[in-house]
Amino acid sequence: MQLDEFFVTGEPLIYAGMVSIVLVSATVIFLLTYFKRWKWLWNEWLTTVDHKKIGIMYILSALAMLFRGGVDALMMRTQLAFPDMNFLNSQHYNEVFTTHGTIMIIFMAMPFLIGLMNIIVPLQIGARDFAFPFLNAVSFWSFFFGALLFNLSFVIGGAPDAGWTNYAPLAGSELSPGPGINFYLLGLQLSGIGTLATGINLMVTILRMRAPGMTLMKMPIFTWSTLITTFIIIFAFPILTIALALMTIDRIFGSHFFTLTGEGLPMMWANLFWMWGHPEVYIVILPAFGIFSEVIASFAQKQIFGYKAMVGAIVIIAGLSFVVWVHHFFTMGAGAFVNSVFSITTMMIAIPTGVKIFNWLATLYKSKIIFSAPMLWSLAFIPSFTIGGVTGVMLGMAAADYQYHNTYFLVSHFHYVLIPGTVFACFAGLIFWYPKMFGHKLNERIGKWAFWLFLIGFHLCFFPQYFLGLDGMARRIFTVGPEWFTLNFVSTMGAFLMGLGFIVFVHCVIYSFRFSPRNIEGDSWGYGRTLEWATPTPIPKYNFATLPEIESHDALIDMKEKGQTTFDRDKLEPIHMPSYTGQPFIMAAIMFFASFALVFEWITLAVIGLAGIIVMMIIRSFDYDEGYHIEVDEVIETEKKARGMTDE
Amino acid sequence: MSEQKTDDVALEYSTHQGQMNIVGFWIFLAAEISLFSTLFATYAVLFGRTAGAPEPAELFEAGTVLIMTFILLTSSFTCGLAIHNMREGSLKGLMIWLGITLLLGLGFLGFEIYEFVHYAHEGATIGSSAFWSGFFTLTGTHGVHVTLGVGWMIAILIQLKQRGLTAVTTRKVFIVGLYWHFLDVIWIFIFTSVYMIGMVV
């Protein structure tokens, strides 16, 4: 293989990408060396098994991916701003919409939410950490290296270009030779392993590590939505694992699952992909619903309206999510009966979702609303998401879908559910729980500026796209005709406004890091209702010194009434902690090596990598590290300092 | 918390961490069911799509498959005896029966490799047609699971030799036992829905 086949050449934008990667990497290496922080990086972060730190790493990676996916989006919008633009050629455009979609779903939305779950769920249920802290670290690093592998593709080997849905036969080796699609298949496979492990880990954590007295129906809503999400992950992700594996075998070892030759069935890919893909949509929306429920209840200063109905609605949505996948390809021609069945199941999803919308509204009804930044994101979510939901029902009607299919109407619909749903929730949750992560709040004034810019930009960007779709503009076309100019131009303006909102948000983070007062209140907003706000800020590494008996899903409200804290001297015991270890990082790095070799079909190297993974598993099996204990004296010392208590 | 021991339960369930590991493994098996279901569905959809390669009925041999089934079912029984000995507190009995289980697993793999080589000789490989891709991937995935199980058992046998019966080692034996029985269940489905149907259709 020649060097110019290995690196992508001939594109000025990609050269710029290479230069910026080299510069950023060099800066990071320089800063770490200059400030002598290598050891700190390894000891505090790369080897950590602490759920709070892993959660922060998830969120930082997700924000980086939001930037990458956002730049992709802006490149597409620039290309579509004027008729017959020459900013991107068709091949480059194909690559950009593929990586945009894949990155935003797999490497942005999911890790962002999993990051918030990592930090918040153990705190909400009063647990010391995840059930399996080691496995949690393995999950994070396999996601991280999966994302790294996928992102490498645009400078090394060439980016995938068959859409985030990666349909066969286009994505098969006949029509897409070269490593591009392999990057997609193996990058997703690697991070998918991490997601599945996190699903199992969180489920056991929630089922077996709740505080005394916290029955299932006394769990906070965010924890409930996480529990149901883990169910979806556990049953949906293995389908993706198999689908990706089958296409990998097709491409590298010449089997005939999705090929046109050998009596393969290309449409089976679409079925398998969406049997995972539709539940996946709910994996990224249910936790978002949970976040909004927490934020709305807190800043409406009321307990959530219809707690049981909320839980029921989540369960029903999760169940329905597995029986609607055909609505992604009504035009495949499965016949009137099949399409009708899936049409009805699709529309049924609107019922439990509607229940949730009305519950949020009822929570707000006659309440004293505090208009904080997280609350603004949550309030904007309700009407925006409803527009997305209603157009979803339109798309769900199979007969009408023949008109909307693969037009900008669809593009607008799913951005209207995923952005107000997932992205707004990520912002709301991040700002809401920020003090618990970093010990200070984000600046409210700048945060609200970011919110308004992003919100206006969002509607400006996507509302015109409904009409472009109805006017017949197909998705994934790389140039537009003059008849669609005005709406496309408005849309592009909106996209750049969203980009500006993101920049203002980043500014908000930096500004707050420098100037925000270091808040020492455990209940940082003063409106907290659940157990995570009972811990001091910043949170001690063992989370809870002691736990009270939980009596309702608003545990902190009860505790305040009774004057209880999570520091009861009579109940103190030594706290068991797991040891930090570099094994997860090394194991995932070897998996990265093996996957990278397989991308280029270097089988010998891939086998060596596989052997390395097995060696790491054996090392883990023979590792009998029992962790260590934090003694009572140290707990007292830490709690006194964190709570600002003087000796009595 | 994980150190607290409670009386009257089996050693593997005696610590909170042990209980959680076992629950976690059951949930992992649920994910495995989803994984194998997808493979079975794929195989079923591609059934009969042989594209000129040999038909399954021409190649499947009742004798070999019956022997394989017998070996694997027996290994599940010996695995159960191993757990029984563990519960009785007999390290020696546990190690003997686990060793026998492992050998039976290897025997099964030997027959499977022979079978695959034989089919390849007759012109049916993973690249022959959609049907054979489905066949080799489904049975191959099961075979890889058995191989991993064998390796896992060897690692656990060494740890049993080093450490004897502790809350941790018994938990590991119990979990590998769950895994082994699960693979047996999967094989029963392969035996019926792949081989038996393949021989008569």
Note whether residue B74 is domain-resident.
yes
Residue of B35, B36, B163, B173 to mutate when probing chain A, most A C-beta within 10 A? B35
Q: Beta strand A628-630 with A575-577: parallel, antiparallel or unpaired?
A: antiparallel
State the average pLDDT over residues A268-275: 97
Chain B: give the shortest CA distance to residue A333, in Å.
17
Contacts of A600 (CB under 8 A, 6+ apart): A1, A157, A179, A182
How confident is the model over B63-103, as pLDDT tens digits? 999 999 999 999 999 999 999 999 999 999 999 999 999 99
Residues in chain B: 201
The mean pLDDT value of chain A amounts to 94
- Inside any domain, residue B115: yes
Interchain pair A208, B16: CB under 8 A: yes
pLDDT surpassing 80 at residue B30: yes
- Cβ–Cβ below 8 Å for B3 and A576: yes
Question: B39: nearest CA in chain A?
Answer: A242
CATH number at residue B157: 1.20.120.80
Nearest one of A504, A483, A162, A272 to B41, comparing CA atoms: A272
pLDDT the model gives residue A521: 85
Place of tokens 């068991």: A576
**Backbone dihedral region of A84: left (phi > 0), alpha (psi from -120 to 50 degrees) or beta?**
left
- Which is more confidently placed, B145 or A155? B145
- Residue whose structure tokens are 């009925």: B57
Q: Check whether B6 has a pLDDT greater than 70.
A: no
Q: How far is CA A286 from CA A186, A227, A290, A314, in A?
A: 27, 10, 6, 7
Considering only CB atoms, which chain A residues are within 8 Å of B24?
131-132, 200-201, 204
In this predicted model, what pLDDT tens digit does every residue of A293-328 receive, in sequence order? 999 999 999 999 999 999 999 999 999 999 999 999
Q: What is the mean pLDDT of residues A88-100?
A: 95
Dihedral of alpha carbons A591, A169, A97, A278, sign: negative
Which of B42, B153, B168, B175 is the best residue to mutate to test the A interface, defined by the most A CB atoms within 10 Å of its own CB? B42
- In sign, the C-alpha dihedral spanning A301, A303, A309, A310 is positive
Count the Cβ atoms, other than its own, within 10 Å of residue B47.
18
Question: Would residue B99 count as lying in a domain?
Answer: yes
Rounded mean pLDDT, A180-203: 96
What would the 3-class secondary structure string for A501-524 be? HHHHHHHHHHHHHHHCCECCCCCC
pLDDT at A648: 52
At A91 the pLDDT is: 93
Q: What mean pLDDT value characterizes chain B? A: 94
Q: How many domains does chain B have?
A: 1
Contacts of B55 in chain A (CB under 8 A): none
Residue A479 structure tokens? 């140039």
Indicate whether B4 belongs to any domain.
no
Instruction: State yes or no: pLDDT of A1 exceeds 70.
Output: no
Close Cβ partners of A616 (under 8 Å, ≥ 6 residues apart): A583, A586, A587, A590
Output phi, psi for A553, to 5 deg. -75, -10
Whether residue B46 and residue A257 make contact (CB cut-off 8 A), yes or no, is yes
Whole-angstrom distance, CA of residue A491 vs CA of residue A458: 9
DSSP state of A327: G
Task: Provide the ipTM.
Answer: 0.94
Q: What is the mean pLDDT of residues A472-489?
A: 94
Percent of chain A past pLDDT 70, that is, above it, reads 99
Structure tokens belonging to residue B101: 């289980």
Instruction: Find the CB nearest B137 among A203, A237, A249.
Output: A249
**Cα–Cα dist A489/A495, whole Å:** 10
Q: At what angle do helices A444-470 and A485-515 cross, to 10 degrees?
A: 160
Question: Are B127 and A249 inside 8 Å of each other by CB?
Answer: no
- Mean pLDDT value of segment A143-154: 95
Quote helix, strand, coil % in chain B, to nearest 5.
Answer: 80, 0, 20
Contacts of A182 (CB under 8 A, 6+ apart): A248, A251, A252, A598, A599, A600, A601
When pLDDT is averaged across residues B188-200 and rounded to a whole number, the result is: 95
**Bond preceding residue A538 cis, omega within 30 of 0:** yes
* Cα–Cα–Cα angle for A577, A580, A582, rounded to 5 degrees: 160
Confidence of residue A10 (pLDDT cuts 50, 70, 90): confident
Alpha helices in chain B (DSSP H): 16-46, 56-59, 62-88, 91-121, 130-163, 167-190, 197-200
8 Å CB contact of A265 and B45: yes
Dihedral (Cα; A35, A41, A43, A46), 10-degree rounding: -170
**pLDDT at residue A220 above 50?**
yes
CA–CA gap between residue A645 and residue A638 (Å, rounded): 10
Contacts of A97 (CB under 8 A, 6+ apart): A72, A76, A163, A164, A476
The one-letter code for the residue type at B91 is L
Whole domain around residue B189: which residue ranges? Answer: 11-48+60-200
Collapsed DSSP state (helix, strand, coil) of residue A130: coil
Chain B contact residues (CB < 8 Å to A):
1-3, 16, 19-21, 23-24, 27-28, 30-32, 34-35, 38-39, 42, 45-46, 49-51, 126-131, 133-134, 136-137, 151-152, 155-156, 158-159, 163, 168, 172
Sign of the alpha-carbon dihedral angle for A255, A261, A263, A266: positive
User: HSE (CB half, 13 Å, CA atoms) of B39?
Assistant: 28
Distance from the Cα of residue A216 to its chain's centroid? 25
Structure tokens that stand for A122 in this block: 């153990």
Look at the alpha carbons of A218, A222, A223, A225 in this order and tell me if their dihedral is positive or negative. Answer: positive
What gap in Å lies between CA A264 and CA B133, rounded to an integer?
9
Q: Is the pLDDT of residue B1 over 50?
A: no
Decide: pTM greater than 0.90: yes
Mean pLDDT confidence for A285-299: 97
- State how far residue B35 is from chain A, nearest Cα, in angstroms: 5
A336-348 and A350-364 are packed helices; what angle lies between their axes, rounded to 10 degrees? 10
Query: B27, A203: Cβ pair inside 8 Å?
Result: yes
pLDDT value at A346 more than 60: yes
DSSP secondary structure string for all residues of A237-285:
HHHHHHHHHHHHHHHHH---SS-SSTT--HHHHHHHHHHHHHHHHHHHH
Is residue B54, in this structure, part of any structural domain at all? no
A 24-53 residues inside an 8 A Cβ radius of B:
none
What's the mean pLDDT in B24-30?
98
Alpha-carbon gap, residue A405 to A475, rounded angstroms: 9
Q: Is A372 left (phi over 0), alpha (psi -120 to 50) or beta?
A: beta
Chain A residues with CB under 8 Å of B123 CB are none
| Nearest C-alpha neighbor of A328 from the set A263, A387, A258, A413 | A413
End-to-end C-alpha distance for chain A, whole angstroms: 74
DSSP assigned state of A440: B
Please tell me which residue of chain A has the smallest CA distance to B148: A614
CA torsion B97-B103-B106-B107 (nearest 10°) is: -110
Is B91 within a domain? yes
Q: Write the DSSP symbol of residue A156.
A: B
Among A134, A200, A628, pick the best mutation site for testing chain B contact (most B Cβ within 10 A).
A200
List CB contacts (< 8 A) between B172 and chain A. Answer: 621
Average pLDDT score over residue span B96-112: 97
- What is the per-residue pLDDT across A395-445, written as a single tens digit (0 to 9) for each? 999 999 999 999 999 999 999 999 999 999 999 999 999 999 999 999 999
Q: What is the pLDDT of residue A646?
A: 67
User: For position B2, what pLDDT does the model report?
Assistant: 43
Please judge whether A234 and B35 are an interchain contact, meaning their C-beta atoms are less than 8 angstroms apart.
no
Residue B28, class by beta-carbon neighbours within 10 Å (0-12 exposed, 13-18 middle, 19+ buried)?
buried
Does residue B132 belong to any structural domain of this protein? Answer: yes
Q: Are A331 and A401 in contact (CB under 8 A)?
A: yes
Q: How far apart are CA A585 and CA A140, in angstroms?
A: 9
The residue among B19, B26, B38 with the most chain A CBs within 10 A of its CB, best to mutate, is B38
Strand-pairing partners, residue A440, are A518
Among the partner residues B1, B30, B137, nearest to A576 by beta-carbon distance: B1
Rounded-to-integer distance, Cα A145 and Cα A642, Å:
36
- Of A427, A452, A426, A464, nearest to A442 by C-alpha is A427
Has residue B2 been placed in a domain? no
